[in-house]
Amino acid sequence: MTTTRSDGELDAARLGMWVFLATEVLFFGALLTAFSAYRWAHARAFALAAGRMRLRLGALNTGVLLTSSLSMAAAVHLAREGRARAAARALLATGLMGGAFLAVKGVEYAGHVRDGLWPGPAFAGAGPERLFFAFYFCLTGLHALHVIVGLAAVGAAGASCLRRADGSEPGALVENVGLYWHFVDVVWIWLFPLLYLLRSAR
Amino acid sequence: MKALLGTWLALLALLALTVALAGARLAPPAALAAALAAAAAKTALVLLIFMELGRSRWAQRLAAAASFLMMAILLLGALDDYWTRPEDAPPRAPAERVP
């Protein structure tokens, strides 16, 4: 494998991505802090509200996202070996799983709206439960936005792999898209227990 | 590639474990501790192996560690007010303080 990029350059690119991800950690961290404070104050109502979530769909989506991280890690591995076409296929699999995640999320959202759980004036539940669903739509909506941005980035990385199918240059793009995608996975790893698992039946 | 597959299997096992625990109807503090411990374990696997922090340059590790340290300060600083309140003194609504 020949490379036109020095290792130092790749390290610098990854460091830049980590600094960006640090701002993302604090962005979601502030929201999760607010959620934790309200959950502490309204523990019973939040647990009841979480009991209205569809655990199976949430667990399915967690599995889909964890698996998409595997194919993303494989894509980075393959790109480093100069196997650009195989890397592009792994990125395609990652993108398809990201799309599947959003589709399941859409089904869930539609179900919540049908059940009257949109935190508007017609909300079907007690006050603090509405607060839970305001956080739910805010947190999962912002996360879904990150998945959409991630899908665009995965597409760009896949196109770049196909352009370099001669195996000339591993490229920082695939590496950094990988870091971003794994980070979006980590955010969901925390949203899933906080929003779905800490539940109690009515 | 084998390490990646093993990590993925461990992540799915942790997911199955947390979903099973949610059905086990643990007491709320135990359920919270179990859910957070499993999420922390999943996060460690993704960060160290998928994101390669286990063998990254020190500057990348520093940026990652600093972000989680800052978030911990934010979270603990906000919640210590709740943790340190005595059980018999629930938070008072602002209206109650009006003389």
Tell me how close the Cα of B27 comes to any Cα of chain A, in angstroms: 10
Any CB–CB contact under 8 A between B13 and chain A? no
**What's the pTM?**
0.91
Enumerate the H helices of chain A as residue ranges.
7-41, 43-50, 55-80, 84-114, 127-163, 172-192
User: Residue A6: what pLDDT?
Assistant: 65
Mutation pick from B67, B69, B73, B84 vs chain A, by most beta carbons of A within 10 Å, is: B67
Average pLDDT score over residue span A152-177? 84
**pLDDT averaged over every residue in chain B:** 87
Are A177 and A160 within 8 A, CB to CB? no
Instruction: Find all residues with CB under 8 Å of A82, minimum gap 6, and list them.
Output: A1, A167, A170
Of B7, B32, B74, the CB nearest to A198: B32
Q: Is residue B66 packed enough to be buried (19+ CB in 10 Å), middle (13-18) or exposed (0-12)?
A: middle
Contact A55 B19 (CB under 8 A): yes
Pull the structure tokens for residue A127.
């006050």
**Interface contact flag, A73 B50, Cβ < 8 Å:** yes
| Residue extents of the structural domains in chain B | 1-51, 56-85
Domains and CATH numbers, chain A: 7-197 (1.20.120.80)
Chain A residues in contact with B70 (beta carbon < 8 A): 22, 25-26, 29
Q: What is the pLDDT of residue A2?
A: 43
Report the pLDDT averaged over residues A12-28: 96
Overall average pLDDT of the A141-164 stretch:
95
| Reported confidence tier of residue B1, pLDDT bands at 50, 70, 90 | confident
> How long, in residues, is chain B?
99
Gap between the Cα atoms of A80 and A167, Å rounded: 9
**Least CB–CB distance from B59: residue in A15, A26, A70:** A15
Q: What is the band of A202 on the pLDDT scale with cuts at 50, 70, 90? A: low
Q: Is pLDDT at A3 greater than 50 in this prediction? A: no
Residue A49: CA count within 13 A, CB half-sphere: 29
User: Which residues does chain A have within 8 Å of residue B39's beta carbon, measured at their own beta carbons?
Assistant: 189-190, 192-193
- Model confidence at A165, pLDDT cuts 50, 70, 90, reads low
| Residue in A197, A199, A200, A202 to test binding to B, most B beta-carbons within 10 Å | A197
Helix (H, G, I), strand (E, B) or coil at A13: helix
Give B24's contacts (C-beta < 8 A, 6+ positions apart): none
Pick the range with the lowest mean pLDDT from A1-10, A68-77, A89-98, A185-194: A1-10
pLDDT digits (tens, 9 = 90+) for B29-75: 888 999 999 999 999 999 999 999 998 999 999 999 999 999 999 99
ipTM of the predicted structure? 0.92
The answer to whether B5 and A70 have CB atoms below 8 angstroms apart is yes
Q: Report residue B28's pLDDT band, with 50, 70 and 90 as the boundaries.
A: confident
Q: Are A143 and A184 in contact (CB under 8 A)?
A: yes
B54 to each of A168, B12, B60, how far by Cα in Å? 27, 21, 10
Across all residues in chain A, what is the average pLDDT?
Answer: 92
| DSSP notation for A163-188 | HTTTS----HHHHHHHHHHHHHHHHH
B65 touches chain A (CB under 8 A): no
